[in-house]
Chains A and B, each alone.
Chain A
Amino acid sequence: MIISVRSLSYDELKRNLSQDDKIVIWSCDTCVKHCGIAGMEKMTALEELLKEDGYNVIRKELISESCQINLAKKHKTAQEDIFREATAIIVLTCEIGYQCVKTVFPYKKVIGTAKTFGAGNFSNRKGPILTSPFESTCLEPNTEGYTLTNLVENFNMFPKFFDADKEPNPEKITITVDGKPLEVKKDSTLLDELLANRIRIPHLCYDSSLGSIGACRMCLVKVEGKRGLIPSCCTQVEEGMNVTTEDEEITSLRKSVLQMIIAECEDDIQRSRDIRYWMRRYKIKENRFQLPKKNETVDDSSDVLIRDPNRCILCGRCIRACANLSGQKVINFANRGSNMVTITGLNEPFANTDCAHCLACVHYCPTNAITPKSISKKISGYPFWTLISYPKKMASTS
């Protein structure tokens, strides 16, 4: 991964902006996110800070990989009106991403926020570490790596994100959840606020980076004064709202949805941590519905990805990740009702599509229906006879 650290203070950032600017915050969702200075959550924090200080943020644009210039161009085309209006773009990316954005928007004010030090690792113990620094850093290559704290101290950079300089203080309202008052951010999504306050709500099709489509019906709650059960992922908080997150009816509905999923999909769908958790919580041990299991062909034509439609729960996250984060629109739904499936390209193998291998779909699929291709195999025996079967075995192992 590429190692970058924030190079600008919040005050310096503001000095680059004017109160008349129409600002787009642009963020990469890969390396720089793992360095703790980008991603949807960080964009939201920066948006809150800027709005509090009277700036006009007109959009947050999340892109799977900013260093793919063709993806950056597609984002520009998809949001043509917004970008025409924008006068400043704050980029939360590495320096390569910055160059891409600057190239795509040559006449806009593009403000970089990070310094890139070279390549490194994500270490289980230390988090991101720099192992292969650029010469300009005067650091020697080091397999143990330099931590972000080392870099911040030695190069006078900034630890953590902008909200470490000044904590956002967004406008709050009070709602009631399961009989208790709760302060939440005004104009936010109910599900986001419940999750932020550690109220566990199952949600298979929603992710704050992708937005909501209300497809899985797992996040249903009751809101006083509203008819029936409503998806919390598609509901905005309102002052005085009275929410029930769990009762007999809600539990029974969630259990039915889960049981339908389990009935239809491969047994190993239970490898999904979320699904396992909710099965345990609702004490679901066996499959109540007798539905025919899906029996679709696993697509391992791509060099990078494997798609197993038998594990797909039709949540549409990969479709939104591909369309919104990469801009490629490789994955889509086909057919309607109970015949609905996800397809790649014009229902062709992954390898024949224009997949950019940005891996957004992999990161957002909740059931591992799309996984990275990894091979690990033993070559038993000695060179000469191994040679005979070698290439064939390789091709079919995934």
Chain B
Amino acid sequence: MIFSKIVPYEEIIKKLDKKEDKIAIISCNTCARTCGNGGISKLNELGLRLIRDGYYVTDEAVILYVCSEPMLREAKLDLEANTIIVLSCSAGWASLTRNFPDKKVLQVTEDIGLVMTDTDKEIFKVIMPYKNHESEMGKEYRINTGEPLVGEKIKVRCV
């Protein structure tokens, strides 16, 4: 599973044009949901906030794996939008960038690293961090919200 963090809302709207952009929000329902940056709830939250702030949101989609082209094809997205905000890891963003070459596809998350999860304890733990996130190694977060946790709940023997 890959852990990505969403950039602050202010950073997202800096990339948007209120007049020109018709916006689609596409949210991944696997890793990004688990890490608190995708799924239905994050999509609702961001969509509502953009609409409230006067942006023109035309389409919304939740897809199980945004990084899988067969799944994207199955979703048969017919977007009215010219701009896509992707709530997924960078691999999901890459997939949409390739599949919608005529649209502006915005990356609004940053990859932190690969994680192991404990769905019973509702925790995930960073095991293989990406560049510039080495300090995240071993850190634990709450599943679904991405809230950082203190203390070590998953003891790993061989990192």
Residues of A within 8 A of B58 (CB): 378-380
Cα A360 to Cα B148 in complex, Å, equals 29
Interface status of B21 (Cβ within 8 A of chain A): no
Tell whether, in the assembled complex, residue B118 and residue A372 are in contact, meaning their CB atoms are under 8 Å apart: no
Partner of B61, one of A106, A135, A357, A374: A374
Tell whether, in the assembled complex, residue B157 and residue A102 are in contact, meaning their CB atoms are under 8 Å apart: yes
Interface status of B14 (Cβ within 8 A of chain A): no
Partner of A122, one of B40, B68, B76, B117: B68
Cα A135 to Cα B114 in complex, Å, equals 13
Cα A334 to Cα B33 in complex, Å, equals 31
A119 and B40 in contact (CB under 8 A), knowing A69-B154, A375-B62?
no
Nearest CB of B to A328, in Å: 9
Tell whether, in the assembled complex, residue A122 and residue B2 are in contact, meaning their CB atoms are under 8 Å apart: no
Tell whether, in the assembled complex, residue A132 and residue B51 are in contact, meaning their CB atoms are under 8 Å apart: no
* Chain B residues numbered 4-36 whose CB sits less than 8 Å from any CB in chain A: 29-30, 33-34
Partner of B94, one of A102, A145, A357: A145
Tell whether, in the assembled complex, residue B130 and residue A135 are in contact, meaning their CB atoms are under 8 Å apart: yes
Interface status of A143 (Cβ within 8 A of chain B): yes
Q: Mark A104-144, 1 if CB is under 8 A from B, else 0.
A: 00100000000010111111100000011011000001111
Q: Mark B88-101, 1 if CB is under 8 A from A, else 0.
A: 01110111011000
Cα A372 to Cα B80 in complex, Å, equals 24
Tell whether, in the assembled complex, residue A378 and residue B94 are in contact, meaning their CB atoms are under 8 Å apart: no
Interface status of A268 (Cβ within 8 A of chain B): no
* Chain A residues numbered 350-366 whose CB sits less than 8 Å from any CB in chain B: 354, 356-357, 359
Partner of A70, one of B67, B94, B120, B157: B120
Residue of B at shortest CB range from A386? B51
Residue of B at shortest CB range from A98? B158
Interface status of B147 (Cβ within 8 A of chain A): no
Tell whether, in the assembled complex, residue B56 and residue A304 are in contact, meaning their CB atoms are under 8 Å apart: no
Partner of A143, one of B98, B111, B120: B98
Cα A390 to Cα B47 in complex, Å, equals 9
Q: Mark A366-391, 1 if CB is under 8 A from B, else 0.
A: 00000011111111101100110011
Interface of A is mostly: mixed
Tell whether, in the assembled complex, residue A123 and residue B69 are in contact, meaning their CB atoms are under 8 Å apart: yes
Tell whether, in the assembled complex, residue B44 and residue A116 are in contact, meaning their CB atoms are under 8 Å apart: no
* Chain B residues numbered 45-71 whose CB sits less than 8 Å from any CB in chain A: 47-48, 51-52, 54-65, 67-70
Interface status of A2 (Cβ within 8 A of chain B): yes
Tell whether, in the assembled complex, residue A132 and residue B89 are in contact, meaning their CB atoms are under 8 Å apart: yes
Tell whether, in the assembled complex, residue B120 and residue A1 are in contact, meaning their CB atoms are under 8 Å apart: no
Residues of B within 8 A of A124 (CB): 69-70, 73
Interface status of B106 (Cβ within 8 A of chain A): no
Q: Mark A75-102, 1 if CB is under 8 A from B, else 0.
A: 0000000000000000000111001101
Interface status of B39 (Cβ within 8 A of chain A): yes
Tell whether, in the assembled complex, residue A69 and residue B40 are in contact, meaning their CB atoms are under 8 Å apart: no
Interface centre among A116, A142, A386 (most CB of B within 10 A): A386
Interface status of A323 (Cβ within 8 A of chain B): no
Residues of A within 8 A of B131 (CB): 134-135
Tell whether, in the assembled complex, residue A96 and residue B1 are in contact, meaning their CB atoms are under 8 Å apart: yes
Tell whether, in the assembled complex, residue B75 and residue A143 are in contact, meaning their CB atoms are under 8 Å apart: no
Residue of B at shortest CB range from A102? B158
* Chain B residues numbered 102-159 whose CB sits less than 8 Å from any CB in chain A: 111, 114-121, 127-128, 130-131, 154-159
Nearest CB of A to B81, in Å: 10
Tell whether, in the assembled complex, residue B116 and residue A96 are in contact, meaning their CB atoms are under 8 Å apart: yes
Residue of B at shortest CB range from A358? B119
Interface status of A67 (Cβ within 8 A of chain B): yes
Mind listing 21 A-B residue pairs with CB under 8 Å? A1-B68, A2-B2, A67-B117, A68-B117, A69-B117, A95-B114, A102-B157, A118-B130, A124-B73, A131-B90, A131-B94, A132-B94, A141-B90, A303-B29, A374-B61, A374-B63, A374-B64, A375-B61, A377-B59, A377-B61, A391-B48
Q: Given contacts A378-B80, A383-B56, could you give 18 more A-B pairs where the C-beta distance is less than 8 Å?
A: A67-B1, A94-B114, A99-B156, A103-B158, A119-B2, A119-B91, A121-B67, A122-B65, A131-B91, A143-B97, A354-B119, A374-B74, A375-B40, A375-B43, A375-B61, A380-B58, A383-B55, A386-B57
Return the 10 tightest CB-CB contacts between A and B, nearest first: A372-B64, A131-B94, A135-B131, A119-B91, A143-B94, A356-B119, A375-B62, A376-B61, A70-B120, A102-B158
